Amino acid sequence: MPTHATHPFRFSSEADHDEVIRSTLGRTTAGAADVGEVLAAVQGVRGKDHDGWFAAWRGLGDRVAAQGDAAAAGGHRASAASAYLRASAYLAVAVNAVAALESDDDLLPTFRAHRRAWDAWVAHSDLDVVPVDVPYEGDALPAFLFRAPGGGAQPTVVAVNGSDGSLTSLWVECVAGALRRGYHALVFDGPGQQSMLFERAVPFRPDWEKVLTPVLDVVLARPEVDAEHVAVYGVSQAGYWVARALAFEHRPVAAVVDPGVVDVAASWERAIPGSLLTLLDKDEDHAFDRDMALGMRLSPATARTWRFRARPYGTEGYAATVREVRRYDAADVAARITTPLLVTDPEGETFWPGQSRRLAALTPEVSTLVPFTAAEGADGHCQPLARALTEQRVYDWLDGYLRS
C-alpha cells in the first residue's frame, strides 16, 4: 500500500488527509472547488477521526448540492452549475473516505449522491455534453462526450481514469483544458471504476487494450470526431492502463500518461514487509495470509483501506490480491508502443517513484519525459497544486499532434 511524502506546509497532520486536501484545492483551476469552503469543512477534523473526515466531506457535498438545487429552482443556471460541479467533487472525496469507516453502508448512497451532482452539473452547464454508451462484452460502459464549439470534425482527447478517480477529477485533469483549446473530450467508467464497480461489481482487468479498443471504436465512428487526430490521456494508475493498451492499440496519434506506471504492484509491495513477500515468492500463500491477517488485526484502519483498495481487483485473500496486482505490469510489452508518448515525472511521486523514468527508458524512441519540481510547486502525485502548469505543458505538447 502506498505511503505519502511530507511537505513543508501541511493542511492536515494525517498524510492521507493532507494529500486529499491538496488534490481538492488543485481543482479550483477548473471550478471544481472553492478554497474557503474546503478549508472550513476540514479544519476541525482530527488526524485519525475517520468518521469525522467522512462526515466533513459528505456534509460539504450535500450542502453545496442543496445550494445548486436552490439556484436551479430560482432560474440561476450558472450558479446552479457551479455549485453542482463543486458538490460532485466533494462527494467524490466522501466516496473514497468510506474506505476508512467500519462499514461500507455509506458507499453506494454517497456514490449516487456524487453522480446526481455530476448529472445536475452536466444538465445546467452551458457545455455541449452527449451521454454515450460504449458496447463492452455484452454490457455498456457509461461515457460522456464533451463537444467543443465549432462545426466540422474536431480533434478529440479520450481520458482514462485511475484506480479511484471520479469523472469530476477527469474534468479538471483533462476535459476543461481540451475544451479551452477547441478539442472534444470523452470520459468513461471502465471496469473496476466508479459506476462499473459500485453498481455493477465489474472488476479491473490488466489487459486494458480490451477496454480502450471498444472506446476508440465508438469515438472514431462519431461524425464530429476527426479520426486522424485522436489522443489518449491517462491519469494516475491509468499511467499503466494506457501504456499497456498502447502496446496493442496504435490508432491514437499521441498519448499522455500522468505519471508513467510500469509495475502497479510496486505501490502495494513497498508497505509489505520483505519477510512476507518472501513467503509469497515461495508460494507459501497460507503463511502469507496468516501473517497479513495478524497485522491487519493490529491495525483496523489499514485493514479497511486494504479492503477498499483490493475491492476493484475482484479477489479474495491477501496473497491472491497481491498476485493479481502483480499481473498489472507493462515491462514486457512496453517496447511495442509506437504512439508518441508524453510522460509526466513529478518530484516526490508518492505511489510509483521512479516509474515515469523507467517507462521512458523502455520506450526511448517515442517518449518525452517532462519533469515537475517542488520548486515550481508541482511536486507530488499528479501535481495536485499545479494543474494549470500541467495543463499548459501537456496541451502545448499535444497541440503538435492534434493540430498537425
For the ranges 100-109, 302-311, 394-403, the one whose mean pLDDT is highest = 394-403
Residue 337, domain member (yes or no): yes
Mean of the per-residue pLDDT values of the chain: 95
Let me know whether 99 and 225 are in one domain.
no
> Please, are residues 135 and 214 in contact by the beta-carbon 8 Å criterion?
yes
Residue 314 domain flag: yes
Give the range of the structural domain holding residue 293, as residue numbers without chain letter. 269-323
* Collapsed DSSP state (helix, strand, coil) of residue 144: strand
Alpha carbons within 13 A on the beta-carbon side of 78: 0
User: Are the beta carbons of 278 and 308 closer than 8 angstroms?
Assistant: no
pLDDT computed for residue 152 by the predictor? 82
The reply to whether 287 and 208 lie within a common domain is: no
Q: Which residue has the higher pLDDT, 271 or 387?
A: 387
Q: What is the DSSP letter of 193?
A: S
Report if residue 311 sits inside a domain. Answer: yes
The domain total for the chain is 3
C-alpha cell at 40: 472550513
φ, ψ of residue 141 to 5 degrees: the values are -85, 130
β-pair type (154-160, 128-136) = unpaired
- Cβ atoms of 113 and 97 within 8 Å: the answer is no
Q: Are 131 and 114 members of one domain? A: no
* Residue 2, in any domain of the structure: no
Peptide bond into 109 cis (omega under 30): no
- In which order are the strands placed within the sheet that holds 184-188? 128-136, 139-147, 184-188, 154-160, 225-235, 254-258, 341-346, 367-372
Q: Are residues 200 and 342 in the same domain?
A: yes
Assess whether 256 and 115 both reside in one domain: no
* 16 occurs within a structural domain: yes
Taking residues 236-261, report their average pLDDT. Answer: 98
d(CA 101, CA 235): 26
Residues 388 and 260 in one domain: yes
For residue range 101-154, list pLDDT tens digits in order: 888 999 999 999 999 999 999 999 999 999 999 999 999 999 999 999 987 899
Is-cis flag, bond preceding 259, omega within 30?
yes
| Confidence category of residue 8, pLDDT binned at 50, 70, 90 | low
Full-model pTM: 0.95
Euclidean distance between CA atoms 137 and 204, whole angstroms: 14
Task: Say which CATH number the domain at 393 has.
Answer: 3.40.50.1820
Query: What Rg value do the Cα atoms of the chain yield, rounded?
Result: 20
Residue 24 lies in a domain: yes
Q: What number is the average pLDDT over the span 301-322? A: 92
How does pLDDT run across 31-66, given as a tens digit for each residue? 999 999 999 999 989 878 999 999 999 999 999 999
Which region holds residue 317: left if phi is over 0, alpha if psi is between -120 and 50, else beta? left
pLDDT at residue 6, rounded to an integer: 44
Asked which of 126, 151, 186 is the last residue of a domain, the reply is 126
Residue 179 domain-assigned (yes or no): yes
Q: Do 237 and 380 have their domain in common?
A: yes
